[in-house]
């Protein structure tokens, strides 16, 4: 890059929120025909930097140059017109509810100042199909409501729409957190083509294997400050050290065989929605059990059945040896089944509320006496979980939106670990969570899982192998295997996951 001039220069970027310095003197250059990744721990300032680049925050210190010209964005529209396109981490921010798939794909054409006042459905669908083709989304029903497609498909639709604008700088914030490996491969191939066509791509991901694979350079933000630049060839250990310093080596699970004798959860010939295959599993106290499978394997459907969201078609759920039949979520919670859902933005966080309220909300009865809520006990409990989970925040009364994505996820996990439970279900708990925060959550689970159990659902083998005692493979609604993590053959596991 020595002989090339950057198309965008960000110099000395700083941003303050109240008494908190989110960014301090961060500088990066962006070049044509390059995939540049930014990494950092949760709360390091990555999202703040991105929001400044795309015009979301106008009140920052520092300078941004585009093609050598000093530029000041007053709004996201200014950044968009300058050729900066961003795909945010939250899927729901990128789609327009109650519109069709075609309308979401062709949204830029619909809202363009040059757009006709006459609604031309045929033209919209034709344009949408052209956009969809680049991301292998032709199979989608263009007239279908966007709310009826999967989270994975929504993410691909947002990315496809962004790519169609042919941006100077394309910013992708955690683009693979909700898509399958196959879809990620399609995305990467598209990014390579865009890079070769001269597009500058800013890629942000906590999946460091992806960062290593596709990046030309990697920029590091550490505690809100510039943490250095890394160049190919890259090693994951090198990236981790630049992000957070030296981490302790991976801990080993030590689930005492004697303490794992109490049968907490048993499923007997349980048949769930979308499958006709009976599920039989046993989970004991002190166990952290992993459940892995491709998107669509039935993992989330099983979790929602256990949590009272869905009704089983047939079979039994036994908790502490007693058959249970939950009518709703409240009954599941009363029986000690807690669940961290897959999409925190849609199903978990309560916007505009404090961290304290987000942690204690499901258990308000516990903090009440004679109908009067004890704020003192609420505060005490939330402070304990903030400390134990290592949540980086200004205080328990800070708004949930003030936190980074990873710290928001810690709050959601803290909520369901706050009270005594029989089993906690974690559905993709590490989406958007950096390696250090992942270790913090994992360590807390290790320390707190004595009498209770954990069912951790993930599409990532490494996540599960790092923390679980046992891994079960789910494929098309069936449990194909259940083995101790220590003796698992990785190739065999992959074969079962992808088995047709």
Asked whether the predicted pLDDT for residue 6 surpasses 70, the reply is: yes
Specify the pLDDT at position 251: 45
Q: How many other CB atoms are there within 10 angstroms of residue 21's CB atom?
A: 14
Confidence of residue 373 (pLDDT cuts 50, 70, 90): low
What is the pLDDT at residue 256? 46
Tens digit of each residue's pLDDT (9 = 90 or more) over 306-350: 999 999 999 999 998 999 988 899 899 989 999 988 766 666 778
Which of 58-62, 111-115, 493-497 is the most confident on average? 58-62
- Across 146-150, 178-182, 277-281, 360-364, least confident range: 178-182
- Averaged over 26-52, what is the pLDDT? 89
Return the percentage of the chain with pLDDT > 90, whole number.
29
* DSSP code, position 82: T
Residue 259's pLDDT is 47
pLDDT score of 492:
81
Is the model's pLDDT at 2 over the cut of 60?
Answer: no
The 8-class DSSP code of residue 62 comes to: E
190-199, 224-233, 489-498: which is most confident: 224-233
* 235 pLDDT above the threshold of 50: yes
Q: What percent of the chain has pLDDT over 70?
A: 91
Does the pLDDT at position 64 exceed 90?
yes
Pinpoint the alpha helices (H) of 390-453: 405-418, 435-448
Cα–Cα distance, 438 to 431 (Å, whole number): 10
pLDDT of residue 202 exceeding 90, the answer is yes
Residues making up the chain, counted from first to last: 500
Residue 470: its pLDDT value, please?
A: 92
CB-based burial label for 387 (10 Å; 0-12, 13-18, 19+): exposed
Each residue of 82-97: pLDDT tens digit? 889 888 877 777 788 8
Q: What is the pLDDT of residue 219?
A: 95
Strand order across the beta sheet in which 337-340 lies? 337-340, 423-427, 453-458, 288-292, 470-475, 478-484
pTM of the model: 0.61
Looking at the chain, the domain(s) classified CATH 3.40.50.300 span 8-244, 263-498
pLDDT score of 337: 93
Nearest Cα to Cα of residue 408 among 391, 385, 396: 391
- Residue 257: the pLDDT is 45
Mean pLDDT for all residues in the chain: 84
What is the pLDDT, as a whole number, of residue 20?
Answer: 72
Cα 24 to Cα 314: distance, rounded to the nearest angstrom: 58
Looking at 3.40.50.12280, 3.40.50.2300, 3.90.1300.10, 3.40.50.300, the CATH number of the domain 8-244 comes to 3.40.50.300
Count of beta carbons in the 10 Å neighbourhood of residue 154? 21
What architecture is the 263-498 domain classified under in CATH? 3-Layer(aba) Sandwich (3.40)
pLDDT tens for residues 245-300? 655 544 444 444 434 478 999 999 999 987 888 999 999 998 999 998 876 788 88
């Amino acid at each position: 890059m020595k002989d090339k001039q950057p198309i965008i220069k960000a110099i000395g970027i700083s941003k303050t929120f109240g008494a908190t310095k989110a960014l301090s003197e961060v500088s990066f250059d962006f070049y044509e025909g390059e995939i540049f990744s930014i990494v950092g721990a949760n709360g390091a300032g990555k999202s703040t930097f991105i929001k400044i680049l795309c015009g979301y925050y106008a009140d920052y210190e520092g300078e941004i140059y585009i093609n050598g010209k000093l530029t000041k964005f007053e709004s996201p529209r200014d950044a968009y017109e300058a050729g900066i396109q961003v795909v945010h981490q939250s899927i729901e921010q990128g789609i327009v509810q109650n519109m069709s798939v075609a309308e979401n794909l062709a949204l830029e054409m619909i809202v363009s100042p040059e757009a006709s006042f006459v609604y031309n459905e045929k033209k919209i669908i034709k344009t949408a199909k052209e956009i969809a083709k680049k991301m292998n989304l032709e199979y989608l029903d263009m007239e279908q409501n966007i709310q009826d497609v999967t989270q994975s498909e929504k993410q691909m639709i947002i990315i496809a729409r962004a790519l169609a604008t042919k941006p100077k700088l394309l910013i992708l914030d955690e683009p693979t957190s909700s898509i399958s490996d196959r879809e990620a491969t399609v995305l990467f191939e598209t990014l390579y083509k865009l890079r070769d066509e001269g597009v500058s791509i800013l890629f942000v991901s906590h999946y460091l294997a992806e960062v290593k694979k596709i990046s030309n350079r990697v920029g590091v933000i550490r505690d809100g400050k510039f943490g250095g630049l890394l160049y190919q060839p890259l090693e994951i250990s090198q990236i981790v050290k630049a992000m957070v310093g030296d981490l302790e080596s991976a801990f080993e699970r030590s689930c005492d065989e004697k303490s794992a004798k109490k049968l907490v959860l048993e499923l007997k010939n349980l048949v769930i929605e979308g499958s006709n295959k009976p599920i039989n599993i046993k989970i004991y106290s002190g166990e952290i059990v992993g459940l892995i499978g491709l998107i669509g394997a039935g993992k989330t459907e099983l979790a929602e059945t256990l949590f009272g969201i869905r009704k089983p078609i047939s079979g039994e759920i036994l908790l502490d040896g007693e058959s249970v039949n939950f009518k709703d979520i409240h009954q599941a919670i009363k029986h000690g089944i807690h669940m961290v859902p897959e999409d925190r933005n849609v199903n978990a966080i309560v916007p505009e509320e404090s961290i304290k309220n987000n942690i204690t909300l499901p258990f308000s009865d516990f903090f009440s006496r004679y109908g009067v809520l004890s704020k003192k006990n609420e505060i005490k409990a939330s402070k304990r979980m903030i400390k134990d989970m290592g949540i980086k925040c200004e205080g328990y009364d800070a708004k949930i939106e003030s936190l980074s994505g990873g710290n928001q996820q810690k709050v959601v996990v803290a909520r369901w670990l706050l009270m005594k439970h029989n089993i906690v279900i974690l559905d993709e708990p590490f989406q958007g969570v950096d390696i250090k925060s992942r270790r913090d959550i994992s360590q807390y689970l290790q320390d707190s899982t004595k009498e209770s159990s954990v069912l951790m659902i993930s599409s990532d083998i490494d996540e599960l192998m790092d923390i679980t005692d046992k891994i079960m493979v789910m494929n098309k609604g069936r449990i194909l295997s259940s083995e101790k993590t220590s003796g698992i053959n990785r190739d065999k596991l992959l074969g079962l996951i992808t088995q047709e």
